[in-house]
Structure 1
Amino acid sequence: MTTASLSAKPHYPILDGLRGVAALIVVTFHLSEPLGTGHLDILVNHGYLAVDFFFLLSGFVVSYAYDDRWPTMTVGTFLKRRFERLQPLVVLGMTLGAIGFYFTDSTIWPLIHTVPLWKLLLVLFIGYTVLPVPLSLDIRGWQEMHPLNSVGWSLFFEYLANILYALGLRKLSNTALALLVLIAALALAHLAITSPAGDVSGGWTLNAEQVRVGLTRTMYPFFAGLLLSRVAKPTRIKHAFLWCSLVLALVLYMPRLGGANQVWLNGIYEAVCIILVFPLVVYVGASGVLHTQAEGKLCKFLGDISYPLYLVHYPLVYFYVAWISNHKGVTLGQAWPYALLILLGAVALAYASLKWYDEPVRRWLRTKLG
């Protein structure tokens, strides 16, 4: 924890850094995913749990930043602030996906070259709103809410959680909020353990089953983060960034548990990680102190690029997935140089997007929206 001034709230730079660590692991997950044959053998097997970690961080930060401002802030003002923060990169990510769409034609998406321009533009404009694209407009064939930028589904649920918070759930007492979090935890554990695949992966398709997955993955971590922000009293923990980063890496890179015959074991693992481990990581991160100027700069850099990296990396991953699908039998040894190139390119694109687009647009929106 650091304090910029006596009048300013303490800032949590380690949490910023951890968000960046999780974003980097998400990219490695998406780069390893096409090399696997299914849920059981993906190299970065639990990388998708980073999204649940993001939701928890978001709930913590939203509560910390806004809970004490409601006496002088309206719902409209809150939603404007969240729009200013989230929406510019949503628009950029969808635009990049549209620009690259026709260039990712491959055996895995054989119908891309048949999609008329008007349909691409319609999907793009719907994507700008973050509203789910109906299955009738599934122009890629993966049954995704946002076929131009796969990660857009989580932003839809992020907005939904923010709206629920603003419209009334922020008013819950700590006791009532704890009860909501407990119910959400039970729902999450049930989903993870009883899922046919033995995991919580999902939420990106506009149908009843997948919307349930998305809501369940959002409700517990977001409102657990809210509760944690209200009740936790951070202390001073040394080397918190290092230890929390190692725990995150261990959790997200952990191989699949239980195999094909006992998938419920993996479900138990994921439920424990989301319900218990992630809140502990956030608490320790909020309690951590920075030891060197270099550590502070690293946390700031990782925090700065985390959201841009999450929103702009998948349009690059589409090219990588197309290349692998067009070269059957590609091994990890053959793919890793290209994967590394995509990873480094995504980081560079994220930083450029932050400095040349996101920050200027957010400043402009702040002046226009007030």
Structure 2
Amino acid sequence: MNTNALATKPHYPILDGLRGVAALLVVAFHVCEAHATSHLDQMINHGYLAVDFFFLLSGFVMGYAYDDRWGKMTIGGFFKRRLIRLQPMVVMGMLIGAICFYFSASNMWPGISGVPVWKLLVVMLIGFTLIPVPVSMDIRGWQEMHPLDGPGWSLFFEYVVNILYALGFRKLGKVALSVLVAVFGIVLIHYAVTSKTGDVIGGWSLTAEQLRIGFTRVMFPFFAGLLLSRVVKPTQLNNAFLWSSLLLALVLCFPRVGGAEHLWANGLYDSLSIILLFPIIVYIGASGKLAEGKGARVCKFLGDISYPIYITHYPFIYIYTGWVSNHKGMKLVEAWPWALLTYTGAFLVAYAALKLYDEPVRNWLTKKTR
């Protein structure tokens, strides 16, 4: 069976654009995070919720793209398509991470200068597969499952839920899926309001606590997005990209809620944003139409750049964070030229990787697998 020769469905161009908006805000969040002293004073304070938005958006698109194709597509064909879509940029992200790690120098990571090249290469090669490394193999000191490219943790969980979807969850009816989504939502709210930091930040370490956070963060939004794709029929909304992107930016940039005295309040904000606001944003985006023109081109560009910049930007954040650490007390208002250089550089590298590597490699792999 030709498992890749499936008819291409029309895209939701506004959802592509929203993914790009979220990815660009993630990069800005990480640049600003280097100057924060705690979760309480981070600028773009809820930028970390972009990951949860990606999960929900992924579930919605997965249901739309594949739910009615299983009569023509094998499980192996599904996995092949997902690997072709995601894995080339995983390899590029780890490669960039290894290069940046090798040339990094900061008081933040005094041990990295003693990391032998063979160990760096081993971690990079394991990273190519997206298999998490245990804490004992962490070469940076942040206990990341992917110490060369931190955001790889979310791709790991993306693969996990993709596997769960293909092997069984796709067969669930609306009622059964609704019950599971409700349970996952309760678990999410409970964790968020009782967490030690008053938020859902975490999931990037191969420890029991961090794995719990990762699964808590992915299970509700992904399968809620899947359910949303099955039960909601988009209508026709004007200016859908404008309103949905503004709402998304507002959620991600909203200041910390509750302060240090009421950590539960921010946890409630996090969970309600994921459970209520993100589905509304996706619904608005799915309900909009874009005529051929500037708006469609903008959304396509944002969609194209979203994944490359998300998976390749963090090695530059390591360098910028290390530089800020070497200049104690450096405020963003003082460091803005270097912050802008980091942001712009990450963007340009992602665009080059998209055009010179990702698109050609995916096209070649698609032809080969046919």
Range into which the TM-score falls when normalised by the shorter chain: over 0.9
User: Which residue identity does 1:295 align to in structure 2?
Assistant: G
* 8 and 360 in structure 1: CA distance in 2 versus 1, 3 angstrom threshold: closer
Whole-angstrom CA distance in 2 between matches of 1:226 and 1:335: 42
Q: Is 1:354 matched up with 2:360?
A: no
> In structure 2, the residue corresponding to 1:201 is in which secondary structure?
coil
Determine the structure 2 residue equivalent to 1:321: 321
Once the two structures are TM-superposed, the CA of residue 334 in structure 1 deviates from its matched residue by 1.2
User: Which residue identity does 1:185 align to in structure 2?
Assistant: G
Whole-angstrom CA distance in 2 between matches of 1:178 and 1:220: 11
For the Cα contact (< 8 Å) 1:239–1:291, is it kept in 2?
A: no
User: Which residue identity does 1:237 align to in structure 2?
Assistant: L
For the Cα contact (< 8 Å) 2:97–2:315, is it kept in 1?
A: yes
For the Cα contact (< 8 Å) 2:332–2:339, is it kept in 1?
A: no
> Structure 2 matches for 1:153-232, cutoff 5 A?
153-232=153-232
Determine the structure 2 residue equivalent to 1:284: 284
Determine the structure 2 residue equivalent to 1:46: 46
> In structure 1, the residue corresponding to 2:71 is in which secondary structure?
helix
> Structure 2 matches for 1:61-140, cutoff 5 A?
61-140=61-140
Determine the structure 2 residue equivalent to 1:15: 15
For the Cα contact (< 8 Å) 2:63–2:226, is it kept in 1?
A: yes
Determine the structure 2 residue equivalent to 1:300: 300
Cα deviation 1:287-325 (Å, max 9, x = unaligned): 012256111111011000000010111111111111101
Higher alpha-carbon deviation: 315-324 or 207-216: 315-324
Determine the structure 1 residue equivalent to 2:148: 148
For the Cα contact (< 8 Å) 2:161–2:219, is it kept in 1?
A: yes
Cα deviation 1:206-232 (Å, max 9, x = unaligned): 100100100010000000110111111
Cα deviation 1:178-203 (Å, max 9, x = unaligned): 11110011111111101011100000
Cα deviation 1:18-55 (Å, max 9, x = unaligned): 00000000001100111010110001111000000000
Whole-angstrom CA distance in 2 between matches of 1:315 and 1:52: 21
For the Cα contact (< 8 Å) 1:56–1:223, is it kept in 2?
A: yes
Once the two structures are TM-superposed, the CA of residue 268 in structure 1 deviates from its matched residue by 0.6
Structure 1 residues not aligned, in runs of 5+? 1-6
Cα deviation 1:137-177 (Å, max 9, x = unaligned): 11000000100001000000000000000001100001101
> In structure 1, the residue corresponding to 2:40 is in which secondary structure?
coil
Q: What CA RMSD, in Å, does the superposition of the two structures yield over aligned residues?
A: 1.0
Whole-angstrom CA distance in 2 between matches of 1:159 and 1:199: 24
Once the two structures are TM-superposed, the CA of residue 98 in structure 1 deviates from its matched residue by 0.3
For the Cα contact (< 8 Å) 1:46–1:255, is it kept in 2?
A: yes
Whole-angstrom CA distance in 1 between matches of 2:369 and 2:315: 30
User: Which residue identity does 2:265 align to in structure 1?
Assistant: L
Structure 2 residues not aligned, in runs of 5+? 1-6
Amino-acid identity (%): 64
Determine the structure 2 residue equivalent to 1:253: 253
Whole-angstrom CA distance in 1 between matches of 2:355 and 2:127: 23
User: Which residue identity does 2:14 align to in structure 1?
Assistant: I
For the Cα contact (< 8 Å) 1:205–1:211, is it kept in 2?
A: yes
Whole-angstrom CA distance in 2 between matches of 1:69 and 1:159: 19
Whole-angstrom CA distance in 2 between matches of 1:250 and 1:341: 25
- When the two structures are superposed, what TM-score results if normalisation uses the length of structure 2? 0.97
User: Which residue identity does 1:113 align to in structure 2?
Assistant: S
Once the two structures are TM-superposed, the CA of residue 361 in structure 1 deviates from its matched residue by 0.6
Determine the structure 1 residue equivalent to 2:241: 241
Once the two structures are TM-superposed, the CA of residue 8 in structure 1 deviates from its matched residue by 5.8
Whole-angstrom CA distance in 1 between matches of 2:93 and 2:60: 25
Once the two structures are TM-superposed, the CA of residue 9 in structure 1 deviates from its matched residue by 3.2
Q: Which runs of 4+ in 1 moved over 4 A?
A: none
User: Which residue identity does 1:344 align to in structure 2?
Assistant: T
Whole-angstrom CA distance in 1 between matches of 2:296 and 2:105: 43
Whole-angstrom CA distance in 1 between matches of 2:366 and 2:170: 24
Whole-angstrom CA distance in 1 between matches of 2:335 and 2:70: 51
> In structure 1, the residue corresponding to 2:200 is in which secondary structure?
coil
Whole-angstrom CA distance in 2 between matches of 1:194 and 1:24: 30
Determine the structure 2 residue equivalent to 1:4: none
For the Cα contact (< 8 Å) 1:84–1:365, is it kept in 2?
A: yes
- When the two structures are superposed, what TM-score results if normalisation uses the length of structure 1? 0.97
Higher alpha-carbon deviation: 41-50 or 341-350: 341-350
* 291 and 239 in structure 1: CA distance in 2 versus 1, 3 angstrom threshold: farther
Determine the structure 1 residue equivalent to 2:56: 56
Determine the structure 1 residue equivalent to 2:340: 340
Question: Number of aligned pairs?
Answer: 364
